Structure 1
Amino acid sequence: MNMSVLPHQYPFLLIDRVAETEPGKWAKGYKLIAENDWFITENQQEMPFSLIIEALAQVAAFTALKDSTELGFLSSVKKAECSGLAVPGDKLDLFFEAVRYKRGFLFGKGIASVNGQKVAEAELGIFMESKN
């Protein structure tokens, strides 16, 4: 998938690739966590939970896109739960499944995992807006 669909650029583009998507239903992507990522420091040895949620939201935006004239923005986070860590060397798999679409908002559930083990999940709301 073309990452230029998102308005994010380094350092806030937190996904490396959207591998698969079925618009309106689901999207799968990933982030390869590296020691040289800006959020990895001497005192912070894992990807912060808040950035994992943002990465899920960026994948979720691909679920909501109808065409390249739209942008998706994170509008709500509910029931966010951290259940593990993503550290340098890990591939953070990101999955978002839409539950409903209402008046320009897409709602669904995001799950982040490493090696098949869930590290985070949240119910996300994505606001869709036209670029024009």
Structure 2
Amino acid sequence: MINIMEILKTLPHRYPFLMVDKVIELVPGESAVGIKNVTINEPFFQGHFPGNPVMPGVLIVEALAQVSGILAFKSGVEGNTVYFMSIEKAKFRKPVLPGDTLQLIIKSIQKRGKVWRFSGRAAVGDNTVAEAEFTAMVTDVAVVEER
């Protein structure tokens, strides 16, 4: 198991954008399962939606991507930032609500150096709530430029 302290050493993300509480399974280069405990204290619930709190689908995909980043880093990929390159086949099946434990299931589909392709599935209990395929790149390059 990878606890929150190890996740903080692995990923550059911080509150309120860190979407993984722990990793309960990891097979380097192949797969990982992370956990996000969804609480009513999440800052996005203030606006999504007042009186009907639902976790935004894009943040579920972000949580999947963060577990993918942990998988890549723990598989020996060098770098300190993971950037999305593409998101495909995203489907949202059921709402994620405060009190849910979100299971983030990742499988590596392909890897070429620092570029990885993943399939991800988010589940609450036995129910799939979201799924997507995505490509990401691990790099040391910061994408900050003046506009």
Q: Which has the larger radius of gyration?
A: 2
- TM-score strictly above 0.5: yes
Alignment correspondent of 2:105: 95
CA–CA distance in structure 2, aligned partners of residues 107 and 68 of structure 1 = 14
Alignment correspondent of 1:3: 7
Cα RMSD for the two superposed structures: 1.7
Matches within 5 A, 1:68-79: 69-71=78-80, 72-79=82-89
Q: 2:124 aligns with which of 83, 100, 114?
A: 114
Q: 1:128 aligns with which of 116, 120, 138?
A: 138
State the secondary structure of the residue aligned to 1:60.
helix
Percent identity over the alignment?
34
Q: What letter matches 1:3 in structure 2?
A: I
Q: Structure 2 regions of 5+ residues with no counterpart? A: 142-147
Q: Structure 1 regions of 5+ residues with no counterpart? A: none
- What do the CA deviations read for 1:76-132 (whole angstroms, capped 9, x no partner)? 10110000111001001001100110242110200001011000000011201248x
TM-score, normalised by the number of residues in structure 2: 0.82
CA–CA distance in structure 2, aligned partners of residues 29 and 44 of structure 1 = 26
Alignment correspondent of 1:15: 20
- What do the CA deviations read for 1:31-81 (whole angstroms, capped 9, x no partner)? 111111111122551110000000000001122123484233222101100
Q: Indicate the structure with greater strand content.
A: 1
State the secondary structure of the residue aligned to 2:138.
strand
State the secondary structure of the residue aligned to 2:43.
coil
Q: Indicate the structure with greater helix content.
A: 2
CA–CA distance in structure 2, aligned partners of residues 70 and 44 of structure 1 = 39
Alignment correspondent of 1:60: 68
User: After TM superposition, which residue ranges in structure 1, 4 or more long, deviate above 4 angstroms?
Assistant: none
Assess if the C-alpha contact under 8 Å between 1:23 and 1:62 holds in 2: no
Alignment correspondent of 1:30: 35
Q: 2:56 aligns with which of 31, 35, 48?
A: 48
TM-score, normalised by the number of residues in structure 1: 0.91
